[in-house]
Amino acid sequence: MIKVTLPDGSVKEFEQGVFAMDVVKSISEGLARAAVCVEVDGQLRDLYSVLDGDCNFKVLTFNDEKGKEVFWHSSSHVLAQAVSRIWPEAKFAIGPAIKEGFYYDIDFPCTITQEDLPKIEEEMKKIVKENIQIKREPIKRVDAIELFTKLGDNYKVEILQGIEDEWVSLYRQGDYFDLCRGPHLPNTGKVKSFKLTSVAGAYWRGDTKNKMLTRIYGISYEKKADLEQYLTLIEEAKKRDHRKLGRELDLFDIFEEGPGFPFFFPKGMTLRNTLVDFWRHEHRKAGYVEVSSPMILNKDLWLRSGHWDHYKDNMYTVNIDESDFAIKPMNCPSGMLVYKRKPWSYRDLPLRIAELGQVHRHELSGALHGLMRVRCFTQDDSHIFMTPEQIEGEIEAVVRLIDKVYSVFGFSYNLELSTRPENSMGSDEQWDMATQALKNALNKMGKQYQINEGDGAFYGPKIDFHLQDSLGRTWQCGTIQLDFQMPERFDLTYVGADGEKHRPVMIHRVVFGSIERFIAILTEHYAGAYPTWLAPVQAVVLPISENHYEYAQQVYQQLFDAGLRVDLDMRNEKIGYRIREAQLKKVPYMIVLGANESQNGTIAVRHRKGGDLGAMSIEQFLADVKKLCENKEND
């Protein structure tokens, strides 16, 4: 007999060799119907895997993150099987689950477009209806190489050549099989609701020197209602696409002449500057000083910082006076030089240095996406230099600052603590100390967080802030990175209370992350209808007819002189047309002026959401708007 320990601590006994599914059924028939896979001693396994010893046992459903991954990965195999039936000559590369759904990279014998997706979906429906059992088949690696070589599938052969294990596994579902470590759903019938969403090009293994494959994206759910809800969300996201709104609202754009290099227009600059002014105000209150550093710096600096060895492929370089220089991809080394320019005492610490530094990074053209992924952007960097005793207090202060900023925009967030990656600098002792300091600060503040093993920066562990927008999507923006390495590499020191030189500890941190990307997130979060304090145009003055032009100009000037961002629309168009256009442009307030307003010296105010607010004095309107802006209200 073997003992199976469940998550609640209870223990069940079974004959050795029992199927995982039988264990699940012994818990609950309903759970067995919902089960996607199981976790045995921390390892994901198929429902029909055999248990041959005592173990810890957990059942995963679609509601679990790992369960979703297995569900979506199995869906990618259903997609591949459908493609293999329609195009038998197709060759298959990889088909992983992703954050939302799945994709498969396929080498087709012909060109595939969006119009081909319904045909593939119809074949997928047949496969789901057939309820084909999905079976795992262990095979020796050398035999698998021989098998895929005979099939002419060079992609699978290349994958196998990079595997060192003697045994690998195939997953077979009827007339289709694939190289895969699994686990998978027990049958194709569980993939009841799905949708193929798009077609894109993708280089094999992300290398532009390799062949361009066709990537088909899809999403799947257990229930039709969940799929419909997701598709509705996608349609809403399309309406909020910052690239579309950026053009429609005349804020920003990216032209063919500069792929990945954004242009900001007058209204976009107003939005950007308002955001930056808010950032500067909050940082001044939090005890930061601001600096600016050059965009191009000598190769020696990047060698010293470690970026040349760890990041060179993403850097733009230039030769000046027969020496190699790099356009900075990040601001950290500049911050080292700012600190190193003069001696410091422990009494000067913590030193909080902030910089809105423009950086350039070489991103693959296929990865570029509006303002979300660009080659040139402005980081709201800050580098905090401190004594070891000040670490936890400074981390807490940064968390509070980021929390305060995000709350202004109505964002909630999740925290993730990332630990040491494989390709990193520094000793185990330093990494352990840095990681524990981050944990201590978060625990002391009562913050919930997840551990993300091995995803820290190459110089230190980090805390990432994943904020949630109005559609429930998450975006990684703020980050706090604790660094013992840079101060060492740059020989940074301070004089301690004992009169001796000591090494400071350093925090790298951003709040917005990238000004450009944060603007993109805000644009989609608000659907372009920014709150009044942030809106590029806060009000537009709309005289009903020529008879009121003179009064309209007086009102416009009074609002403008009071600091309001205001436009004057005296075009020869009907007032209804101009009001609708102002609403389409997401202007918070419309000031409509007719005979009554001209005679009484008042204004009629409309709000883009609240409609007609009635007549009021200019002074009352300005006072109301001033209060909204001072309180940073999300109206």
pLDDT tens figures, 193-224: 999 999 999 889 888 889 999 999 999 999 99
Q: Which domains does the chain have, with CATH numbers?
A: 2-61 (3.10.20.30), 67-235 (3.30.980.10), 273-296+329-525 (3.30.930.10), 539-630 (3.40.50.800)
- Farthest CA pair distance, the chain: 95
Question: Which helix (H) or strand (E) covers residue 249, if one does?
Answer: none
User: What are the structure tokens assigned to 206, written together?
Assistant: 């992300």
CA dist., res. 493 & res. 340, Å (int): 8
Q: Are strands 462-468 and 412-418 parallel, antiparallel or unpaired?
A: antiparallel
- Contact criterion met (CB below 8 Å) for 292 and 355: yes
Which phi and psi (to 5°) does residue 252 adopt? -160, 165
- Predicted confidence at residue 588, as pLDDT, reads 97
Question: Which helix (H) or strand (E) covers residue 212, if one does?
Answer: strand 212-221
| 3-class DSSP state of 111 | coil
- Contact criterion met (CB below 8 Å) for 32 and 24: yes
Q: Which residues of the chain have pLDDT under 50?
A: none
Number of H helices, E strands in the chain: 20, 35
Counting beta carbons within 10 angstroms of the beta carbon of residue 618, is it exposed (0 to 12), middle (13 to 18) or buried (19 or more)? middle
User: What are the structure tokens assigned to 37, written together?
Assistant: 């896979």
CA dist., res. 150 & res. 154, Å (int): 10
DSSP state letters, 149-206: HHHT-HHHHHHHHT---SEEEEEEETTEEEE------SBGGG--EEEEEEEEEEEGGG
- Predicted confidence at residue 306, as pLDDT, reads 83
The CA–CA distances, whole Å, from 584 to 52, 319, 569, 579, 603 equal: 65, 49, 14, 9, 22
Q: Give the sign of the dihedral formed by CA 618, CA 621, CA 627, CA 628.
A: negative
CA dist., res. 292 & res. 354, Å (int): 9
User: What are the structure tokens assigned to 65, written together?
Assistant: 């993150």
**What would the pLDDT profile of 360-414 be if each residue is shown by its tens digit?**
999 888 788 999 999 999 999 999 999 999 999 999 999 999 999 999 999 999 9
Global pTM value: 0.82
- Contact criterion met (CB below 8 Å) for 417 and 451: yes
Q: Tally the C-alpha atoms within 13 A of residue 302's C-alpha that lie toward its C-beta.
A: 24
Residue 578 forms beta bridges with which residues? none
- Whether omega for the bond prior to residue 536 falls within 30 degrees of 0, making it cis, is no
Give catalytic residue positions: 332, 361, 379, 381, 383, 462, 508
- Predicted confidence at residue 529, as pLDDT, reads 96
The CA–CA distances, whole Å, from 360 to 113, 308, 353, 374 equal: 34, 14, 21, 9
Q: How many CB atoms are located within 10 Å of the residue 624 CB?
A: 15
DSSP state letters, 558-611: HHHHTT--EEE---SS-HHHHHHHHHHTT-SEEEEE-HHHHHHT-EEEEETTTE
- Contact criterion met (CB below 8 Å) for 118 and 91: no
Which phi and psi (to 5°) does residue 600 adopt? -95, -5
- Predicted confidence at residue 380, as pLDDT, reads 95
- Predicted confidence at residue 67, as pLDDT, reads 95
